[in-house]
Structure formats: C-alpha cells, structure tokens
Amino acid sequence: MVRLFGTDGVRGVANVDLTAELALDLAAAAVEVLTEGRAPDAGRPLVVVGRDTRPSGQFLEAAVIAGLASCGADAIRVGVVPTPTVAHIVAATRADLGVMLSASHNPMPDNGIKLFAAGGHKLPDEIEDEIEARLGAPRRRRPTGGDVGRVLDDPAYIAGLIDGYVAHLLSTLPVRLDGLKVVVDCAQGAACVLAPRVLREAGAEVVPLNADGDGQRINDRSGATHLDSLRAAVLEHGADVGIAHDGDADRCLAVDATGEVIDGDQIMAVIALAMAERGELADGRVVVTVMSNLGFHQAMRQAGIEVLATPVGDRYVLAEMRRTGAALGGEQSGHIVFLRHATTGDGLLTALTLLGRVRETRQPLGELAEKAMTRLPQVLVNVRGVDRSGVTTSARLQAAVADAEAELGEDGRVLLRPSGTEPLVRVMVEAPTDAQARAVATRLASVVEAELRR
C-alpha cells in the first residue's frame, strides 16, 4: 500500500488526488491525534491555517477549517503566508497544530497539506502513520452547540501575528542591508507580500519579480526551480544580488551580480564559515543530505567543521539537527534551517542571513561563494523503468560502482539512489571535470539499465 504522506506532507492534483473530503478528514484526524490526552478543562484546541496563492487553496482551506471546527478546534486563518510563517505562529501562539496548504515547488494543478505539531515542528513518521490510520474512521468527538470550533480571522489580530514574524526575522540580522540592491523572485507564491517587505524593512533597495500573487502561475518559469528570469533581471537592474524563493518560500537560492547561480551548498558554505567565525556553529558541525556537493565536504573539512549527512529530505536534516544539536543544516535545493531561529526551512531567513553576510563583509556575493567552496561538477542521470531493489543486490552493478570510485579516488564521488516514489534509479557522479563526471555517469547508467531493466 502506498503511504499517503510523502517526504513533506500530502501532495497531489487538487480536486483529484487531494480532494475537499480528504482535506476535511485529514484535518480532523490530525487534531484528534495531536490533542489526545488533552485535559477536558484545557479549552478548545488551537490550530494555525495558512496557504499559498494556488486557486485550489481556497476550497482546501475551507475544508480543513470545517474538519477542525467539527472536532471542536479553533482555527487561526492567517491567509496567504510562507510555510515558515505558519510554523513560527504555531510556536508564538502555543497552538496545538499548524496546517499549511501548499505543494511547494510543484506546478499549479498540484496542492498539498503540510502539518506542524506544537512548537512548529514537522511530524515524525509514526505520528503521520497514526493520522493516516484514522482516516475514514468515525470521529471520536463531535461537539455541538457552543463547543464547536470557531474561525479566528480578525484582520488586526492576524496582522499582529505576521508583524511578530517579521520582527523576529529582522532581529536576526547582524547589520542592516542599506546600500544593497536586491531582486527577489517570489514565484507568484506565498512570498509575494512578505519577501519584498522584509527586505525593504531591513534597508535594501528591492526589485520584486513574479510577485503579483497570481496563483495560476505559481512556479511557472519562475522562482527557485527556474532561475533564468532572475538572472536576467539582476543584470538588467544592475542589482548586487538576486534571491529566488519557491511557491511556499521555505527555499532560497541566489544569483550574484554577474548572473551566476549560487546554490544551497554554496549558501550554506558561506553561512557556516561566518557562523564558525562568530562562534555560533554548535559543536562545529553542519547537517546536509547525501546530495550535497563533494566540494562542500572538502571546504568544511579544511575549515575544521564536521559534516553529518542524511537521506534526501529536509525533515531528515531537521531530525538529525535536533538529535545532535547542530545549529545549521540544509539541502542543495535551498532548504536551509537555522535551529536557533526557526523550526523549519525558511527562505526569507536564509535570504536575510546571506545578504547580511554580504553587507557585513562588503564583499560581492560571488567572491564570498568562491572563497567558501569550490563546487565540483555534478551530473545526475535518471534511469527509468528499472527495478529499484536491485541497486543493492546486483553484483555487476556493485562492481561497476567500485571501479568508478577507484577511478575518481578522493577527487570524486558516486551515489546510486533508488527513487522513493517512481520506478527509477538516480545516478549521481561528481568529478574534477564535467567531462569525466558525464562519462562515468553515462557508463554507470548503462549498467543500471542493463542489469535492472524490468
């Protein structure tokens, strides 16, 4: 049976896979599970509900709130805000649950439901499994009369909560951003209002891009997964830096003044070195996923910083950070977590921290990134229509990997990763030159195809 929850909540085509009925049932099941054992006199559970700009977010929001209210929970409806804003408000209001309606970087027909427990933390697998097991079951509590849940959406109250989040972000800056010109690509998503506002209040001159809030165009050739328009805008406006968010603004990638892309590994390298310099890197370690570039590992080793690697997915990075007490972690894709200031990846916080380092050092972003690490050429090949389970059992494939690793030595890396959702195997190779990386990746992909073809 396919698990309902993926690596970051529940996603699917809105009104096909992710229906109003499922959203209502999921919200009700979640509030039941997360408030189990609550004292009878503790009052109604409190839930924060936010969404991105997708049109389907409106009916899914209504369904979620209906499910919550039917179980006696009050819903704080914060409207269109980034995912990390919901997590922050959950913690600030001491709410029992947070619900964010977004499919992150996915295209517009999709939508999703992300859940946060008390404190603004993502749910562990076992809690998600328990919620999934409750779907379709009779509700354990159906209050009536004055005991049903209410919707809390007074504009002044909601504005105050959001202002609190903005003030929190600005409080993390070591210096103001006066003198920096920044293009910020909001991907027509949840960052459209807050990202330009935060940067302006921090002192930057801001050029908003893809910031109309048109949810029908969310992530459409824009944002963190499509950087060409941002690169062009940075050059056109003579900006110092370009910042790109995804649909729900938990990611941040950057572009320097020359139009060169600065990915999540490079951003983390710049920030890790700055934090180490200030004594803010807990126990001198950072947490990344297995996909992080070998150049990042080499740069951190040279700086005396320990690198811990997890499976792909920011939830695994977060779990390892909480286990080890690491202050910084993230993914090459731009999900970066600052555990001192946030409980989840926060693209706006990442942007402020990176820009703060640029302003503090008075060095161009490109120079900072170049000094922080040398990014090795990385080639990724997806081999489709194969038996994923054979990755660990095929003797010929293991021999081919061993030969490739011997060829690359300490100057390269090979990673074969079965997809968690599709019948494909991802072949990733890093090497000193792009030509060598492509040659090794092509050779390994052909062995995967021959050995594991279904």
What mean pLDDT do residues 49-64 have? Answer: 98
Question: Is 76:161 a contact under the CB 8 Å cutoff?
Answer: yes
Evaluate whether 10-164 and 378-452 have a shared fold: no
Place of tokens 């649909």: 247
The DSSP call for residue 391 is G
Taking only the tens place, the pLDDT of each residue in 225-257 is 999 999 999 999 999 999 999 999 999 999 999
Residue 421: per-residue pLDDT: 59
The Cα 143–Cα 149 span in angstroms is 9
Q: Model confidence at 171, in pLDDT bands (50, 70, 90)?
A: very high
From the list 357, 316, 356, the residue with the least C-alpha distance to 326 is 316
Q: Is 172-372 in CATH node 3.30.70.20?
A: no
User: Exposed, middle or buried by CB within 10 Å (0-12, 13-18, 19+), for 393?
Assistant: exposed
The Cα 377–Cα 358 span in angstroms is 25
What mean pLDDT do residues 150-175 have? Answer: 97
Phi-psi group of 38: left, alpha or beta (phi > 0 → left; psi -120 to 50 → alpha; rest → beta): beta
56, 104, 222, 394: which is the annotated catalytic residue? 104
State yes or no: is 394 an active-site residue.
no
Burial 90-112 (b: 16+ CB within 10 A, else e): bbebebbbbbbbbbbbbebbbbb
The Cα 294–Cα 373 span in angstroms is 10
3-state secondary structure of 229: helix
The Cα 303–Cα 307 span in angstroms is 11
Provide the token pair at 446: 């052909």
Taking only the tens place, the pLDDT of each residue in 81-139 is 999 999 999 999 999 999 999 999 999 999 999 999 999 999 988 999 999 999 998 88
Taking only the tens place, the pLDDT of each residue in 286-322 is 999 998 999 999 999 999 999 999 988 888 899 999 9
Residues 6 or more apart whose CB falls under 8 angstroms from that of 141 comprise 32, 71, 72
- Under CATH, which architecture does the 378-452 domain have? 2-Layer Sandwich (3.30)
Residue 390: per-residue pLDDT: 81
Q: In the chain, what are the domain boundaries? A: 10-164, 172-372, 378-452
Residue 141: per-residue pLDDT: 84
Helix (H) or strand (E) holding 73, with range, is none
Residue 198: per-residue pLDDT: 98
Taking only the tens place, the pLDDT of each residue in 257-291 is 999 999 999 999 999 999 999 999 988 999 999 98
**10-164: CATH class:** alpha beta
